[in-house]
Amino acid sequence: MKNRTLIKYIGVALLMGTLAQSCEDSIDRDNLPVPYAPIGGYENSDDIAAANLVTKLSFENNLNDSRTNMTNAVGTNVQFGVGAKGNAYNGSDSQKRYAVADVSSAITGLSAFTFSFWMKSANTVDPATPGQGKGAQGIFSIVRPTEFWGGINLFIENPDNANPDRIRLKLSVENGRPGVAWGGQSVMMNIDGSKNKWIYVTIAYDPTVSKVSAYLNGEPAANLTGYAYAPAEGLTGSAPWFANDPGGIDNPNGASGYGAIQMMGTNGKVVIGTHQFDTNPPLNNGSPQDWATSFTGMLDEFRIYNVPLKSADVSALYKLEKDNR
């Protein structure tokens, strides 16, 4: 009996050894796994305009900026959830959430820029009855303590009741450079059919041509409105900004372009997740507004560049991000 058991054990050991040898022989030791093919000449999303990337917030259960131009972030009720790439900043429709951080002159001194990030939003609702999650939802602002609006502001604008499926993502900029009479400029991305979906947003401003360009999932965005003399159907891809009244979208008055941005009155702070006037206490000389609130959606991989990314790089950035690289 003992001999038969011993023979059985020996047989099993020989079989396992044979299988192990077979598996080992099946490994191709000469041809290593094929790496991901480059996209736009880049292997990783951080390779794109690497020298010009001044802020990157990945929200991996923290508010750390991998570029260290944003520091000492202090969150109020901040939470994180599953994002488009790892974890993400998670807003709320029942609780005010935001963070305030110190920033270097790499942020407050932006004269050109690109903002790029993943966003997931259920949109906003009419603020007729004020409350958290209603009205204009603040996403990002460079603080100016003596002014109502920050130097650069990103937010979801009040809803278009005629288009309830439309997310109205707005960028506004305050340019204090001498000779710019129309200091406050804005543009609105009218995003349809994307509620509760992860979308990749890129907005870039090029002072050499005085145009702001917007992209959705790496492609030029359609129906850009919210700027001077915008046509009802909006423009696709980019919109012009002027230093004073152009008299029409084709600039019959010969107005100068908006040019380089010079933010005035900043104090080295930014707010993430709400407006500068919606914090407690407000970061400016204003006060909370019934028509505005903190962001209720999710943000991921929030990047700021100090140059306008080229369209090819915007496309590559989206594809690399989507590929989790």
Q: In b/e form, how buried is each residue of 291-310, taking b as 16+ CB within 10 angstroms?
A: ebbbbbbbbbbbbbbbbbbb
Pairwise CA distance, residues 171 & 89, whole Å:
20
C-alpha span between 278 and 165 (Å, rounded): 26
The pLDDT, as a whole number, for residue 36 is 78
Task: Quote the pLDDT of residue 85.
Answer: 95
At 10 the three-state DSSP class reads helix
At 160-192, the pLDDT tens digits run: 989 999 999 999 999 999 999 999 999 999 999
Q: What is the pLDDT of residues 123-137, one digit of tens each?
A: 999 999 999 999 999
Q: Mean pLDDT over residues 272-291, rounded? A: 95
Confidence of residue 234 (pLDDT cuts 50, 70, 90): very high
Q: What percent of the chain has pLDDT over 70?
A: 89
Quickly list DSSP for 115-170: EEEEEE----B-TTS--TTBSEEEEEEE--TTSSS-SEEEEEPPP-TT-TTEEEEE
Q: What angle do CA 46, 63, 203 make, to 5 degrees?
A: 50
CATH number of 45-322: 2.60.120.200
Q: Is the pLDDT of residue 14 over 60?
A: no
Q: How far apart are CA 301 and CA 198, in angstroms?
A: 12
Is the alpha carbon torsion for 272, 278, 279, 283 positive or negative?
positive
Predicted confidence at residue 150, as pLDDT, reads 98
DSSP label at 37? P
Question: What mean pLDDT is predicted for residues 192-197?
Answer: 97
Calculate mean pLDDT across residues 72-85. 98
Average pLDDT, the chain: 91
> Pick the residue with more confidence: 14 or 252?
252
For residue 173, which phi and psi values (nearest 5 degrees)?
-135, 140
pLDDT at residue number 34: 54
Query: In the predicted model, what is the mean pLDDT of residues 58-83?
Result: 98
Phi and psi angles of residue 95, each rounded to the nearest 5 degrees, phi first: -140, 130
